[in-house]
Structure 1
Amino acid sequence: MSQGCDLSILEELTSNAKKRQDNVLNKILKANANTEYLSRFLEGSSDKELFKKNVPVVSYEDVKPYIDRVANGEPSDILSGEPITAFTLRHVDGYNQGKVMIFRFTHPISTTPCGLPLAPVVTILMKSKHFLSMEKRSTIAKEIIRCPDKKQSMYCQLLCGLVQSRETRLSGHLSEWITDLSCRDSVSIILGEPNPELADLVEKECTGQESWQGIITRLWPKTKCVETIVTETLAQYIPVLEFYSNKLPLVSKNYASSETFFGINLNPLSKPEHVSYTFLPNMAYFEFIDVGVDGGTEGEIVDLVDVKLGHYYEPLVTNYYGLHRCRVGDVLQVTGFYNKAPQFRFLPCLVGMLLKGEVMGSRLTNNLIMELERTHNGGVGFGALQRCEHGAHGAGSSHGAGCHRTLRRQDGLIGALEVRIVQKGTFDSLMEFFVSRGDSITQYKTPICINSVEALKVLEDKVLARFFSDKSPPI
């Protein structure tokens, strides 16, 4: 498809956003109105007003019993008018063009009780025939991605990327600890004949420099950008990426989740803090709930074209596959419009997480857990941590930070921030804990709020010191 055609489609979609949304909802309801789930509310009707009046707002947990029934072998029409052929655990958008180096890992495919495959979508994709076209644009072969040993797979993926960093060969020998035969065979084909000059260059850049600053551009000099996610909790890695990439553009192309594909970034070279996503009205039917200052929800539910500039919303998704008015949990702010389609930026929190802590008496306390690279003489200055706590509240300009400052000063509703200093490596241990429980290492995000008792224990066991600030943050 040509660029001109792409732009014309975008213009049509965004200019006719309301019509597109109405058509999407009508198509979804006609296909699914007679399912067991929707028929309770619509009695076979595809009327939009009846849908808004009768179909409840739900979370994933509310529809999980229906999903479990399909997984256990009951007919798909419990939820969907079309046959359900697989369950995917995560939506990952592929690359459309160019040769890319991207770390991918697969997991064993399990099955539901009735035999449907169950795995992250990237695993199903990497083990399907559709990967053949993607493989041509990738620096790695499918056998390396499919290696069950994540450490061997990571090493081989990185090696293949280095081999092709200058469109030449790196070395003729693969480390003996790589025992997966598929990995060894695939990498050996790519390695070709030895190239000691390139090997020396890689060694010099990795071990002969005082710092790894700019290591990405030093090893891959033709790199034009780093494609990554810069929203939500992953925003914390922006300084790290800028350090290693010599401040190459960080590109966040789209906003997608397990529920649906939401929208695209029309200004991909914008700075991470300015990234907004234009919602595409043909992807799903979108509604939005006004988000109140305390992290709850209030006000009416509005359609995509009726959101207001500057307001905060939680999106609801009605998709083609059986989710209806399902809460996503993200908090978004309207930053503008492209034709009739709104543009949103993320807030660095989820609904219900704007204020979290432990209730002590009638006050809510807030814990900030910090892992420091180094401290003066091995100690931590109390005054410095007080100023840290004070500055954290004072400097924040987000919706959540403003709310926190206000409630912190009102009637002592929120107590002082507790700063906990933990041992170096604590957050690595936290990541290892979640990965050991099945989280993908490539999709792991350092949590902003932890409810797991076991995960909290990982942090508690490594606390070195605790501090409280008595100062109230400025309004």
Structure 2
Amino acid sequence: MYSQMLCGLIMREEVLRVGAVFASGLLRAIRFLQLNWKELANDIATGSLNHKVTSPSIRECMAKILKPNQELAEFITNECSDENWEDYYSGGLPKPCTMYASSECYFGLNLRPMSKPSEVSYTIMPNMGYFEFLPHDPSAPAFSRESPPRLLDLADLEAGKEYELVITTYSGLNRYRVGDILLVTGFYNKAPQFRFVRRKNVLLSIESDKTDESELQKAIENASLLLREFSTSVVEYTSYADTKIIPGHYVIYWELLVKDPANSPTGEVLNRCCLAMEESLNSVYRQSRVADNSIGPLEIRVVKNGTFEELMDYAISRGASINQYKVPRCVSFTPIMELLDCRVVSKHFSPSAPHWTPERRS
């Protein structure tokens, strides 16, 4: 990472774009620059590679391109010494997403790559595999052998409806359920275009409640609005359903970026963030909290800066691909739980129950 970053800075005028398979990889690289720019600038100023890079082959390669360049070193220092990195590092540059893909195969292309991230739709390319779709209806009963699912082809889909993607690939997967829920947003000629909605799997559940990834993301976005006046944002998060005690409750791990430590959010504010999250969750969850008392107050555990970097390092040490790693939005693996819990700096709970009123029956 260090040597590649150094090469990118030295040959900056040849860099046309910066990208990664997942956005988390790009954020990790820029975070690395944020933490190591002083050493990188020093290497460029002196023309010598940092002694922490010990690989003989890398040092030999770097010696061929690393020459003293005081002007570039001063430029990097001027750009990086500003503490305001809040613009997600892009400085107004466009952030396109070009394709929709997974480990199994490529699915489709974004034919309007410069569109806003919230407006991105993908056009499925039928030559990349054979694609079928399950109409998504959360209230429908589960499939069985006696009532197999009804699969639809690309030509049978309707705008405005949600479907679960099923693929058959050239490499041998047969009617594999990817687990992605897609919304048909329109058509390109006659080809349906899709917006990724969420993963199908439920993330959190204590009793009859079911909270999926998109709902959890929305709840965190709503709660993080309370942090704006403190110039603080949520860098990363994950969650788990704690059922060790009765009633069980949701636990959300937050890593925060605090711009001004002298004006960091108070414990009371973070308690209100817990309640704001609960107010954003579905009515079944809120009924369980208010009427049934079967779910306890939601908890936010703030972890030290760099915790999610360590989580990624741990996953990679166990064989995960750095190019395909994504922060898990729900965790249950004991070593990961221990890693997170030993880096908790504060714990916060909802100060009251969320709003809920029973439905009136006619």
- TM-score w.r.t. length of structure 2: 0.67
**C-alpha deviation, 1:313, in angstroms:** 2.0
Q: CA shift at 1:449, angstroms? A: 1.1
Question: Paired residues, what number?
Answer: 284
Contact kept, 8 Å, 2:247 with 2:295, in 1: the verdict is yes
User: C-alpha distance in 1, partners of 2:153/2:245?
Assistant: 41
Residues 248-257 or 295-304, more deviating:
295-304
CA distance in structure 2 between the partners assigned to 1:245 and 1:461 by the alignment: 33
1:391 is the counterpart of 2:276? yes
Residues 378/198 of structure 1: CA separation in 2 closer, same or farther (3 Å cut) = closer
Q: Does 1:429 align with 2:276?
A: no
> Any idea what the Cα deviations from partners look like across 1:233-261, whole Å, max 9, x if unmatched?
xxxxxxx6x43111311111001112111
Residue in structure 2 matched with residue 339 of structure 1 by the alignment: 189
User: What code does the residue aligned with 1:440 have?
Assistant: S
State the distance in 2 between where 1:163 and 1:206 align.
15
Q: 2:61 pairs with 159, 178, 186, which one?
A: 186
The amino acid of 2:286's aligned partner reads R
CA distance in 2, matches of 1:300, 1:414: 36
User: What's the offset of the Cα at 1:162?
Assistant: 0.7
CA offsets 1:95-118 (integer angstroms, 9 cap, x no match): xxxxxxxxxxxxxxxxxxxxxxxx
1:323-380 CA-to-partner distances (Å, cap 9, x unmatched) read 1001112222222221222111222444233627355899773222223445889884
Given that 1:264 and 1:278 are in contact with CA atoms closer than 8 Å, whether structure 2 keeps it comes out as yes
State the partner residue of 2:211: 355
How far does the alpha carbon of each residue in 1:277-298 deviate from its partner, in whole angstroms, 9 at most, with x for none?
1111111111112333379967
Residues 286 and 316 in structure 1, CA contact (< 8 A), matched pair in contact too? yes
Residue 318 in structure 1 maps to residue 168 in structure 2: yes
- Residue 177 of structure 1 pairs with residue 52 of structure 2: yes
1:165 matched to 2:12: yes
Structure 1 residue 178: Cα displacement: 2.6
SS of residue in 1 equivalent to 2:165:
strand
Partner of 1:468: 350
Residue equivalent to 2:113: 268
CA distance in 1, matches of 2:159, 2:355: 28
Counterpart Cα distance in 2 of 1:343 and 1:412: 42
Contact in 2 for aligned 1:311/1:333 (Cα 8 Å): yes
Tell whether the 8 Å contact from 1:212 to 1:244 is kept in structure 2 after alignment.
no
- Are 1:369 and 2:253 matched, yes or no? yes
- Alignment match, 1:50: none
Match of 1:284 among 129, 141, 144: 129
Paired residue for 1:202? 76
SS of residue matched to 1:329: strand
Q: Work out whether residues 95 and 114 of structure 2, in 8 Å CA contact, stay in contact via their aligned partners in 1.
A: yes
Alpha-carbon distance in structure 2 between the residues aligned to 1:363 and 1:453? 21
Residues 447 and 291 (structure 1), Cα distance of their counterparts in 2 relative to 1, 3 Å cut: same
CA distance in 1, matches of 2:163, 2:246: 29
Can you list the C-alpha shifts for 1:192-251, whole angstroms capped at 9, x where unaligned?
Answer: x432222222233233x3x253xxxxxxxxxxxxxxxxxxxxxxxxxx6x4311131111
Deviations 1:139-196 (A, max 9, x none): xxxxxxxxxxxxxxx11111111111136995643233333232223223333x4322
Residue 299 (structure 2) aligns with: 419
After alignment, is 178-187 or 443-452 more displaced?
178-187
Contact 1:393 1:474 in 2 (8 A): no
Aligned residue for 2:59, secondary structure, equals helix
Change (3 A) 1:388 1:308: farther
Q: What pairs up with 1:218-229 in 2 under 5 angstroms?
A: none
Equivalent residue number for residue 235 of structure 2 = none
Give the CA deviation at 1:413: 8.8
Shift of 1:263: 0.2
SS of alignment partner, residue 51 of structure 2: coil
The aligned residue for residue 287 of structure 2 is 409
Q: Relative to 1, partners in 2 of residues 1:349 and 1:305: Cα closer, same or farther, differing over 3 Å?
A: same
Shift of the 469–289 alpha-carbon distance from structure 1 to 2, 3 Å rule, reads: farther
Distance 1:297 1:355 in 2: 18
Where structure 1 has 5 or more consecutive residues not aligned to the other structure, the ranges are 1-153, 214-239, 396-400
- CA distance in 2 between counterparts of 1:453 and 1:255 reads 32
Letter in 1 for 2:254: M
Specify the code of the residue in structure 1 equivalent to 2:255: E
Is there any run of 5+ residues in structure 2 with no aligned partner, and where? 16-42, 144-148, 204-209, 213-240, 358-362
Gap change, CA 1:379 and 1:200, over 3 Å in 2 = closer
Superposed CA deviations along residues 43-88 of structure 1, whole A, max 9, x for unmatched, are: xxxxxxxxxxxxxxxxxxxxxxxxxxxxxxxxxxxxxxxxxxxxxx
Once the two structures are superposed, what CA deviation does each residue of 1:383-415 show, in whole Å capped at 9, x if it has no partner? x345323433556xxxxx5xx345533764973
- TM-aligned CA distance change 1:413 to 1:310, over 3 Å: farther
What percentage of residue pairs aligned between the two structures are identical? 37
- Measured at CA, do residues 445 and 176 of structure 1 come closer, stay the same or move farther in structure 2, by a change above 3 Å? same
The amino acid across from 1:467 in the alignment is F
Secondary structure of the structure 1 residue equivalent to 2:298: strand
What residue in structure 1 maps to residue 159 of structure 2?
309
Contact kept? 1:408, 1:414, Cα under 8 Å? no
Q: Is the 8 A contact 1:407 1:414 kept in 2?
A: no
What is the CA–CA distance in structure 2 between the aligned matches of 1:433 and 1:157, rounded to whole Å?
22
Code of the residue aligned with 1:315 in structure 2: it is: L
Task: Give the structure with higher Rg (CA).
Answer: 1
Q: CA deviation at 1:268?
A: 0.5
- State the TM-score, normalized to the length of structure 1: 0.52
